[in-house]
Chain A
């Protein structure tokens, strides 16, 4: 069940390169296995954070003070595109990230964030660029505030930006709702749908058929 998210004031790190895919956020070999949760934080952005010899890349923003403590990322276009791996969100979360502000996100990554109590905020590219400039002007010392209830972001310069968010998803984050439990409350509806659908589209539901239908 996701932790609730209401407001956050924290260090924010701009990572402005476009099209950062979920393979770059977390490599696949870190995700092979059923006991990976809790092991992923140190591997987030592995190929950017570490040099080929395994040492930290001093150039990468999350390896620099004060960005090392960042709980907010400000990102370039199409952040989180590519693979559906939810491990990308888990690795950021385990690294301490709680919100991501960008002009657009990969669709599946975006949905995965909400499932884990991470707030992805979509604002115009001009706002993202302004935030990044304001943060860099303070060398990262200026914090960014996000208020989900009020749907506002306050930049280190004091500039206030509002953002839109799907009301359902906003409520889910504010209350830390568990979607599985919510949907199971509608189980009667699901069963009723299946009964009428079985009449309308029987070929969808009759997958358990004679032995002759097992794969040839």
Chain B
């Protein structure tokens, strides 16, 4: 079964890199440029895991995660936060909002895949 990943980031560069890495690893990749678009995607499609940036316009990652959990329909949807090494507080905020785990940017492709497998069946 192909796993479907929703990637949410306002940086096209990061989106492109995630897309490359994930599709090479056999994932189906959906993209959104901010939290609001991310919510729209989730409304329309079922996904297996979400990877989201924190700093985004319109709706940031923290709000996005809170909103996803608040729907009540995605309680078991793993959400991974993209963070940098130095932003421990963001990681904690993301977790408090309902984030499942995190990926440190810049990410190593192999590690990215293994982190995803850590949170999805």
Partners in one complex: no
- Give A contacts to B, CB under 8 Å: none
- Give B contacts to A, CB under 8 Å: none
